[in-house]
Chain A
Amino acid sequence: MIKINNIYKSFGNFKVLQGVNLNVEENKILSVVGKSGTGKSVLLKSILGLITYDKGNIEIDGINTNGFSEAEFNKYIRHKMTLVFQNGALWDSMTVGANIDLALQIQKHLDVTEREKRIKESLEAVGLINIRNVYPNELSGGMLKRAAIARAIAMKPKYLLYDEPTTGLDPILSNIINNLIKKLNVEMGITSLIISHDIKGVESISDDVAMLYEGKIILTCKAKEMWEQNNQIFNNFIRGKIT
């Protein structure tokens, strides 16, 4: 379980997170929605320790990561949690296959047969089996995104954080990715935290939904009940109403 307790983060004088509270329950899918620039990506990066937050704490499986060093994040957190970056962040000096292989080799120290198997499986899962030997800069935006997802799921982590996994994908691909996230959650029990603007997708796969607004989580609810909320900001947001 990921427990985010009262997190603050500013860049200089610019306040981004101002007391975020959020729990991600074991084996569940939680989606966070919110306007562009409200700090959703910053929140995900804080959980993994890529950004150090100013105040508050984050507990992952009971371990408080406040003040953790890089080495402690590597040891206690990053081997069981992977992030799919918003822009993919594939390593562009190597092929997609090598991208997937790198962490399997250096972090997990797996042997060649197991690595091969995982590379094939994960590329298949995102429908990209034939781009294994292609370099990231030769891919389309949607392919990049899926390759990044393949790289993350190959790690078979306990937690997966997805930063806008379906943004920029056509409706069919979005469905494929959403189904994949659900399938990984159901079959492998991967707890997922998703940042998404794809409201229909959010509704269909999430257990819970939360909204980040002006540096705070202003609402958390069951995905099934997301159309019956009393929060006006949330209601307008998910309906795309201009206020």
Chain B
Amino acid sequence: MATVESPASPQLRSGVEPLRAGQGSSFIWRKLHSLLGIVPIGAFLLEHLLSNYEALKGPLAYGNQVKFLNSLPMVRVLEWVFIFLPLLYHGLYGFYIWLRGKSNVVYYPWAGNWMYTIQRYTGLIALAYIIQHVWRQRFTGVMLPENPYYAFHKVQVELSNPWMLAIYVIAMIAICWHFAYGVWLFAAKWGITPGVNARRRFGYVCIALGIGLACLGLAGIFAFVGPWYPSAPIPTP
């Protein structure tokens, strides 16, 4: 029988905490993460893939594009405010989101759950790839802002290593996947596509977006390793 000494109700472990209604600031940080994935990061991804596509027109055209981008007003400020800092924030906070989730796709192998998991791995690939890419192409070696016409050569040397080429191809696909599904996620979470049919149809749009971007990006990569400009010399404008 339950007495004061031996209460009938057992001591329970604490479980998941209830909602902290109206408390804290995670809402703003999480929404910022989500928004930054679209603008400026997604917008920059588009610009970057389009710029790299210029490489198909040859070393000179590519150099001209690099020169044009570096002639934008306050380009160093733009670079930090619209590219590096948002990427760093989205990447690190994304990693933090990942750590706090408890993946269960082995028990519930449903499509949305797979996509949730893949969004995390493709994000990690993106983060690792972007760090080495920015370090090796932007901050070390020949400085492209001052020597824009070395751009084609610099990338070509990098991609002459088959391992590096493989890394670029894998990262390109992973990032395009991450962005395309990210656009879908954004529309779903911000209530742009609340309807089931709207989400399905927008899913097709995002698949097309992902495939289109990946093709664009891979075409840019193959400009450097394809038969068109082997061992291209530094162009003189």
Q: Do A and B come from one complex?
A: no
B interface list, Cβ under 8 A from A: none
A interface list, Cβ under 8 A from B: none
